[in-house]
Amino acid sequence: MTTSAPAPSALRGPGTEQLLADGRTLRYYDDRGGAGAGRPRPDGRPMTAADRGRAGEVRRDPLTGDWVALAAHRMTRTFLPPADECPLCPTGRGAVASEVPAADYDVAVLDNRFPSFAELTVGPPAGLLDDEPLWPVGPAAGRTEVVCFSSDHAASFGDLGVERLRTVVRALAHRTEELSALPDVAQVFCFENRGAEIGVTLSHPHGQVYAYPYLPPRTQALVREARAHRERTGGNLLADVLAAEVRAGERVVLRAEHWTAYVPAAARWPVEVHLAPHRDVPDLAALEDDEREELAHVQLDLVRRLDRFFPEVEHLPYISGWHQAPTGEHRDLGRLHLQVFSLLRSPGKLKYLAGSESAMGAWVNDRTPEAIAARLREVAR
């Protein structure tokens, strides 16, 4: 758990907010600022506060030290509905009332109806499972939000223009700032799962924001390595990795005034790229205006390159996630960076996480990082 949070900034919040029928919050972020496309209507669905989604519990694995969230209620979440029953389209476009009671919107952010982590939980208070010291347990307190990138059901991230990307970045920065200030949040993670191959349950263009009550395993490993690196060298590990990739040059995909994209030297996935700011920045909320402006251009360029990686594939299936610094302890060891990766090793062929990766965490990549970077440079326009 965290004991401190970053200081608030002057980030502009949503143009409009409203409560849904079950008490969850919906926020509209408009391209032009203010109350533009997001003009809410009353949510007339027959729901009450009693229907509001509640999170389950977390249990600690004594063999690895990892926390595992148990969310059995998510088994009943909406799964690949037809377009006219999409819960993320504006209400009125389909056959059923959606999660967004407006005729149109630019970007909408709402509390997840089936949360992995939430303010309201049904999990036990912090304690021990079966009174056994090996098994600490507690409520899955935190937040789980859905970020709708567009009201267009058929759109994809690469189809969005720079103006919309500005709004998406602003929305994610604002959600990062607000969620990081909550006392039960240790880290905020903004991400997008795209493509049936990844396992998405809704095809509408959207991402998610998870506010974890603990540091996830990847962050714990990064903190450990970053602390050891600082003790050895006095430097920031993520900043020094960026500098080393720039010096080597071979895996750099693009370099702008404020941002550099590169394929990490030990990339695990058949397609993987990282995007990092040149300045030491802990999270999206700490970006300056010129950094946010350039990010909208650079990220759009990068996603469109990924969509051209395989000529036979229109939209590359991927996971895109913003790694941000912890909100409290170890915050000085973190540094903002985007990781995008795909498990598509060639058209029609997936990299399955079989015995070595899934059971042992020992990775084998089917493509060299240098080849990935060369291809992403090749498909630039």
Contacts of 249 (CB under 8 A, 6+ apart): none
Give me the catalytic one of 73, 174, 206, 274. Answer: 206
Whether 148 has a binding-site annotation, put simply, is no
Could you report how far apart the first and last alpha carbons of the chain are, in Å? Answer: 45
Are 145 and 110 within 8 A, CB to CB? yes
Instruction: Specify the DSSP class assigned to residue 157.
Output: G
89 annotated ligand-binding residue: yes
Q: At what angle do helices 237-248 and 217-233 cross, to 10 degrees?
A: 80
* Cβ-contact 48, 39 below 8 angstroms: no
Give the 3-state DSSP-derived string for 274-316, with helices as H, strands as E and coil as C.
EEEECCCCCCHHHCCHHHHHHHHHHHHHHHHHHHCCCCCCCCC
- Using DSSP's 3-state secondary structure scheme, residue 107 falls into strand
Side chain identity, residue 377: R
The radius of gyration computed from the CA coordinates of the chain, to the nearest angstrom, equals: 21
Query: Can 206 be counted among the known catalytic residues?
Result: yes
86 labelled as ligand-binding?
yes
The identity of residue 205, as a single letter, is: P
Residue 371: which of 299, 259, 300, 265 has the closest Cα? 265
300/163 Cα distance (integer angstroms): 11
Cα–Cα distance, 286 to 305 (Å, whole number): 27
Give yes or no for a contact between 193 and 199, defined as CB atoms under 8 angstroms apart: yes
CA angle in degrees (0–180, nearest 5) for 71-77-81 = 160
> Residues annotated as binding site?
86, 89, 153, 204
| Binding positions for Zn(2+) | 86, 89, 153, 204
* Residues acting as catalytic residues: 206
